[in-house]
Amino acid sequence: MTQASSVGPASRGGPTEVIQRAAEAELLEAALLSGAHVLLEGPPGTGKSTLLRRVASARHIPFVMVEGNAELTPSRLIGHFDPALVLSKGYVPEIFEDGPLLEALRTGGLLYVEELNRIPEETLNVLLTAMSELEINVPRLGRVAAAAGFALVAAMNPFDAVGTARVSGALYDRTCRISMDYQSAEAEQAIVDLRTDGLDPQWRAKVVELVRSTREHEDIRFGSSVRGAIDVARLAVELARMRSTPTDDWHVGLAAARVSLSGRIRLQDACDRTPEQVITDLYVDVFGAEPVAPEDHSDSDPEGSPGEP
């Protein structure tokens, strides 16, 4: 059975409630307590950020989150002197605006860098230095040493086309790695349940089955994460309300699935079909063929009562 972990207070559906992942949470906690830096490696949507938020909040560890991308320059990461004040005051420490790395170093918190593989080489080097030396030297500011507790937690999608090869050697040598794969169908159903309200469990299970089938299909290189399932469910609820039909209406589900999933899957290069066509096939596999003699929705009673959510 699926269970929410029960460490510390967490409101239902709150950002720190985690379905399963107890083993990963335990390892992450132990790694952080041991003073190690950690690499959370797995495809998007496998709960890496959710897990870290959970562990950090349960342990009351401050953490600073940065999105890794090409714009994350060393000065964005470290911080900079306020250029307007430099003119009048010069390079004094009081006018230095800490970036996320300095904030984490000074507070002894975690620096959480998502998509670490996407950051520029120079920025990665700054991080690698901070990790091994536990201090950095900032021009004109001086040496900033890490307060106890500082650690880097990096998240990476090993299948990302950008920069993964470049990052690996130096980073793997300085981190403990926790691998995060897709969770079970039951866990994913529970996650969708956490992020939506009052769905029929059988319909919800089929939505999860549909999303999971995108990870197996021969025409699809990368399928959707549970994020896709959450969106299908939420979108279907709204669409059904607008159309005054039940959420599990076949056409509502198909429209929600096509919109929510077509952009989330990557087709094989050799595939000559559109993502919408592939999603439609998968939808029919899970939800059955289009029902015959459906009611005509185009002239449905405009005063009709709203559909059951």
Binding interface with ligand ADP (CB under 6 A): 17-21, 44-50, 155, 191, 194-195, 226-227, 230
For ligand ADP, the closer CB: 49 or 168? 49
226 binds, among ligand ADP, Mg ion, none (CB under 5 to 8 A by kind): ligand ADP
Closest CB 22 distance from ligand ADP, rounded Å: 10
Kind of pairing between the strands at 79-81 and 96-98: antiparallel
118 binds, among Mg ion, ligand ADP, none (CB under 5 to 8 A by kind): none
Give the residue among 41, 45, 27 at the shortest CA–CA distance from 229. Answer: 45
Q: CA dihedral defined by 238, 240, 243, 248, rounded to 10 degrees?
A: 160
For Mg ion, the closer CB: 49 or 75? 49
Closest CB 182 distance from Mg ion, rounded Å: 14
Q: Give the residue nearest to Mg ion (CB).
A: 49
Closest CB 180 distance from Mg ion, rounded Å: 10
119, 72 Cβ separation under 8 angstroms: yes
Please return the burial class of 174, using the count of CB atoms within 10 Å of its CB with bins 0-12, 13-18 and 19+.
middle
For ligand ADP, the closer CB: 78 or 154? 154
Stretch (H or E) spanning 145: strand 142-145
194 binds, among ligand ADP, Mg ion, none (CB under 5 to 8 A by kind): ligand ADP
DSSP letters for 45-92? TSSHHHHHHHHHHHTT--EEEEE-STT--HHHHHEEE-HHHHHHH-S-
Kind of pairing between the strands at 142-145 and 135-138: antiparallel
Task: State residue 113 phi and psi, 5-degree precision.
Answer: -110, 115
For Mg ion, the closer CB: 40 or 101? 40
Closest CB 227 distance from ligand ADP, rounded Å: 5
**C-alpha distance from residue 83 to each of 39, 75, 91, 95, 190 (Å):** 35, 13, 9, 9, 50
Q: DSSP code of 246?
A: -
18 binds, among Mg ion, ligand ADP, none (CB under 5 to 8 A by kind): ligand ADP
**C-alpha count within 13 angstroms, C-beta hemisphere, residue 112:** 20
167, 278 Cβ separation under 8 angstroms: no
119 binds, among ligand ADP, Mg ion, none (CB under 5 to 8 A by kind): none
Closest CB 21 distance from ligand ADP, rounded Å: 5
For Mg ion, the closer CB: 25 or 138? 25
**CB atoms < 10 A from the CB of 158, how many?**
12
**Helices and strands (DSSP H and E) totals, the chain:** 12, 11
Closest CB 294 distance from ligand ADP, rounded Å: 33
19 binds, among ligand ADP, Mg ion, none (CB under 5 to 8 A by kind): ligand ADP
Closest CB 40 distance from ligand ADP, rounded Å: 7
For ligand ADP, the closer CB: 181 or 296? 181
Closest CB 197 distance from ligand ADP, rounded Å: 15
Q: Give the residue nearest to ligand ADP (CB).
A: 47
191 binds, among ligand ADP, Mg ion, none (CB under 5 to 8 A by kind): ligand ADP
> Could you list the residues that contact Mg ion (CB under 5 A)?
49, 114
For Mg ion, the closer CB: 110 or 239? 110
